[in-house]
């Protein structure tokens, strides 16, 4: 039951909230929408919380991965589109589950945007990075076995991130969804999409195994 509630919140309620914020409020209430998305992203993780010491350590590790994600995005500011956020989100999901992956993605967008700038795009970024984490968690058993497959998933995630964000681009420009403008937005963002897909591939290729081994050792040591 907890799993179904979690997936309902992450896959139905949050995207519905993000779209309503863009369509009904024209992005003007983005601060409240971002806050609601953040709180709802926490809910599935806390549904699994059983007040054990291992659960507390798990939350600390998820917070640490989120901090690394935020820091990585800031460090690579000089290179547009070249960011390790997706890699950190995916790695978190592989070792702590879909819910943790979604939470890391959503909080990475919200927190890092205090540096890059908050706006009506923030809820879409929170959902985009969050859903990439959720999918990675569902495919964890497959992705953890093959680093090339994991890296390819990173590249596909970079493309999916751009596809989701271009929905916001069209809604912001037209106040509603326009298919032809959406196709044009996808075409115009191809250079950014290519760079982001490549960066996600590279970061997962380089960091997937080393960070994964560290997390596995910590999980074994503390029984997480």
CATH of the domain at 55: 1.10.1760.20
More confident residue, 192 or 177: 192
Candidate ranges 1-5, 29-33, 50-54; pick with highest mean pLDDT? 29-33
Q: Which pLDDT score is estimated for 220? A: 81
pLDDT at 70 over 80: yes
Q: What angle do CA 95, 97, 100 make, to 5 degrees?
A: 100
d(CA 75, CA 70): 9
Min mean pLDDT across 19-28, 55-64, 153-162, 187-196 is at 19-28
Structural element, H or E, at residue 160: helix 147-174
Min mean pLDDT across 33-37, 177-181, 183-187, 204-208 is at 177-181
Confidence of residue 181 (pLDDT cuts 50, 70, 90): confident
41 close to 102: Cβ distance less than 8 angstroms: yes
Mean pLDDT of the 64-71 span: 96
- Residue 214, φ and ψ in degrees, nearest 5: -60, -45
Alpha helices in 98-146 (DSSP H): 98-116, 122-138, 140-143
Q: Which pLDDT score is estimated for 50? A: 59
Average per-residue pLDDT for the chain:
90
How many domains, in total, are found in the chain? 1
pLDDT at 2 over 80: no
pLDDT at 26 over 80: no
* Tokens at 212, concatenated: 């994964």
Mean pLDDT of the 34-38 span: 92
* Tokens at 51, concatenated: 């007040």
d(CA 195, CA 146): 23
61 close to 96: Cβ distance less than 8 angstroms: yes
* Among candidate residues 156, 64, 80, the one with its CA nearest the CA of residue 116: 80
* Among candidate residues 1, 194, 30, 218, the one with its CA nearest the CA of residue 126: 30
* Tokens at 41, concatenated: 């992203």
Q: Which pLDDT score is estimated for 53? A: 62
pLDDT one-digit tens code per residue, 76-132: 999 888 999 999 999 999 999 999 999 999 999 999 999 999 988 999 999 999 999
More confident residue, 28 or 12: 12
41 close to 14: Cβ distance less than 8 angstroms: yes
Q: Which domain holds residue 113?
A: 2-222
pLDDT one-digit tens code per residue, 50-64: 556 667 788 889 999
What percentage of the chain exceeds 70 in pLDDT? 95
d(CA 176, CA 30): 17
């Amino acid at each position: 039951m907890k799993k179904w509630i979690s997936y309902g919140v992450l896959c139905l309620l949050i995207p519905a909230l993000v779209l309503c914020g863009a369509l009904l409020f024209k992005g003007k209430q983005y601060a409240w929408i971002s806050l609601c998305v953040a709180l709802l992203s926490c809910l599935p993780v806390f549904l699994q919380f059983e007040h054990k010491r291992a659960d507390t350590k798990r939350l600390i590790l998820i917070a640490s991965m989120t901090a690394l994600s935020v820091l990585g995005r800031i460090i690579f500011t000089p290179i547009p589109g070249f960011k390790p956020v997706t890699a950190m989100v995916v790695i978190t999901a592989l070792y702590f589950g879909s819910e943790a992956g979604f939470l890391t993605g959503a909080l990475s967008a919200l927190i890092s945007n205090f540096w890059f700038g908050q706006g009506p795009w923030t809820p879409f970024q929170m959902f985009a990075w969050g859903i990439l984490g959720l999918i990675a968690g569902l495919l964890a058993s497959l992705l953890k076995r093959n680093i090339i497959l994991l890296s390819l998933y990173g590249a596909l995630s970079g493309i999916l991130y751009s596809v989701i964000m271009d929905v916001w681009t069209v809604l912001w420009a037209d106040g509603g969804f326009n298919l032809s403008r959406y196709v044009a937005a996808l075409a115009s963002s191809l250079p950014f999409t290519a760079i982001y897909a490549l960066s996600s591939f590279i970061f997962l290729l380089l960091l997937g195994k080393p960070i994964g081994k560290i997390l596995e050792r910590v999980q074994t040591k503390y029984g997480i």
